Amino acid sequence: VQLQASGGGLVQAGGSLRLSCVASGSSFNLNNIGWYRQAPGKQRRVVATFGRDGSGSYADSVKGRFTISRDNAKNTVYLQMNSLKPEDTSVYYCKARAPNLSLGVWDYDYWGQGTQVTVSS
């Protein structure tokens, strides 16, 4: 599985960005792709994933502002980010959990390369 994240940039507080994560390869399910972020000097943390029913599940810090969605035809998962705050500044990564047959692992984590989001005050 290969993941290509894009859409980051510099935005003022209160602004919006939409991140995209395009998945390619085999044996993946878009429902198993989520968004994570990592600020300098901090651990990578989950931002948004899909629940078992396909609805979004969000970190408390982004609830009501961020929305995760997918387009099956485009093999793409999106993260719509509204009302951005300076504390949202991070590198954002998408991650897919899928089998890795060469390693014999059923739930292997594949990471995209990350896209920088900077929110100015």
Tens-place pLDDT, residues 52-62:
888 999 999 99
Contacts of 52 (CB under 8 A, 6+ apart): none
pLDDT at position 62 = 98
**53-104, pLDDT tens digit by residue?**
889 999 999 999 999 999 999 999 999 999 999 999 999 999 999 898 899 9
pLDDT of residue 18: 98
Backbone dihedral region for residue 30 (phi beyond 0: left; psi -120 to 50: alpha; all else: beta): alpha
pLDDT at residue 2, as a whole number: 94
Sheet with 2-6, edge to edge strand ranges: 2-6, 17-24, 76-81, 66-71
Tokens of 83: 């009302």
